[in-house]
Amino acid sequence: MSLKKLVLSGIFTALTVLGAFIQIPLGDLPVTLQTFFVFMAGLMLEPRYAFLSQFAYMAAGLIGLPVFSKGGGFGYVLQPSFGFIVGFCVCAFLVSALARKNLLAFFYGGRKTKPLLKAAGGMLLSVAALYITGISYMYLIYNLYMAKQVSAGYLILNAAGIFFLIDTAKFVLAAPLCAAVLKRLPKGFIEPHLFERK
């Protein structure tokens, strides 16, 4: 593992912590900047480092550090929203694996349509994976642990719905920002071949 990339991964762990406390109340779940930083981690880091940045965030909260929006501790696994924290790990990995290379190919390879379409498809799959993980977990906690009869349709409408569109907009904002930052990072933070014009 590269020390430079581990440091960058740690920076995104810290940014995800910060994002948890920047909130706009909306329905059962607040709008935060966390997903923006999850997307940035996926776009700026290789898959394993992107995953690690979010796994470290989850692990820090589970051992008791107050990094989650409602504190920390292992008992947080019983919070309905914990599935979205698990989903951050999945999403960051998938963004890196499915969208990162194609987005950079678009920005630095002549702005061709094909890599942009591939990146858009990867982005949608990554965001969908986040919501599938989060809502599935929420459904299980509400219905099995809390013994509340909450339908999957209700959760999709209230825990996804407008949030999916908001997160898609965050991704659109994160993409050019990350591409610009990556181009300016010192050697060793990113694979040079990603900027080669095909």
Which helix (H) or strand (E) segment holds residue 23: the answer is strand 23-24
**Confidence (pLDDT) at 112:** 79
Q: Say what the pLDDT of residue 196 is.
A: 55
C-alpha–C-alpha distance, residues 38 and 47, integer Å: 12
Q: Is 161 left (phi over 0), alpha (psi -120 to 50) or beta?
A: left
d(CA 69, CA 57): 12
Mean pLDDT, residues 159-181? 88
pLDDT at 106: 84
Question: What global pTM score does this model have?
Answer: 0.90
**How long is the chain?**
198
Q: Which fold has domain 3-189?
A: Arp2/3 complex 21 kDa subunit ARPC3 (1.10.1760)
Res 38: pLDDT: 97
Q: What is the mean pLDDT of residues 15-25?
A: 90
Q: Where does the pLDDT of residue 28 fall: very low under 50, low under 70, confident under 90, or very high at 90 and above?
A: low
Q: What is the pLDDT of residue 191?
A: 64
Confidence of residue 83 (pLDDT cuts 50, 70, 90): very high
pLDDT above 90: percentage of residues in the chain:
60
Residue 184 confidence (pLDDT):
81
∠ CA(61), CA(31), CA(53), 5° rounding?
Answer: 40
What residue type is 14 in one-letter code? A
Choice among 7-16, 56-65, 165-174 with the minimum mean pLDDT: 165-174
Is pLDDT above 60 for 195? no
Helix (H) or strand (E) holding 44: helix 34-44
* 190 — pLDDT class (breaks 50, 70, 90): low
CA distances from 66 to 20, 59, 62, 122 (A): 11, 11, 9, 32
Mean of the per-residue pLDDT values of the chain: 89
Q: 198: pLDDT confidence band, cut at 50, 70 and 90?
A: very low
Interval 129-151: pLDDT, tens = 999 999 999 999 999 999 999 99
